[in-house]
Amino acid sequence: MTTKDINTANRIKAAANRLFAEKGFGRTTTREIATEAGVNLALLNYYFNSKEELFQTIMFEVVGGFISQLQVLLNDDHSFEQKVQFVVDNYINLLTARPDLPVFMLSEIRNHPHEVVERLGLEKLIREALFFKELAQRCPEGITPVQIFMNLLSLTIFPFAAKPLITAATGADGQQFQMMMEQRRKLIPIWFLSMLRPAN
Q: Summarize pLDDT for 104-130 with one digit per residue, the tens.
A: 888 888 888 888 888 888 888 888 899
Residues with Cβ within 8 Å of residue 136, at least 6 apart in sequence: 144, 145
Q: Are residues 23 and 79 in the same domain?
A: no
Q: Are residues 31 and 61 in the same domain?
A: no
**Mean per-residue pLDDT of the chain:** 90
Mean pLDDT of 14-22: 88
Q: Are residues 8 and 87 in the same domain?
A: no
pLDDT at 200: 53
Our count of domains for the chain comes to 2
pLDDT at 169: 96
Q: What single-letter amino acid sits at 198?
A: P
Mean pLDDT of 68-86: 93
Q: Are residues 135 and 155 in the same domain?
A: yes
Q: Are residues 73 and 132 in the same domain?
A: yes
Residue 76: is its pLDDT beyond 70?
A: yes
User: Residue 4: which pLDDT band, with cuts at 50, 70 and 90?
Assistant: low
Q: Are residues 63 and 37 in the same domain?
A: no
Are the beta carbons of 55 and 104 closer than 8 angstroms?
yes
Distance (Å, whole) CA 105 – CA 172: 25
Neighbours of 114 (CB within 10 A): 8
* Domain span at 14: 1-49
Which tens digits make up the pLDDT trace of 146-180? Answer: 899 999 999 999 999 999 999 999 999 999 999 99
Q: Are residues 6 and 69 in the same domain?
A: no
pLDDT at 132: 93
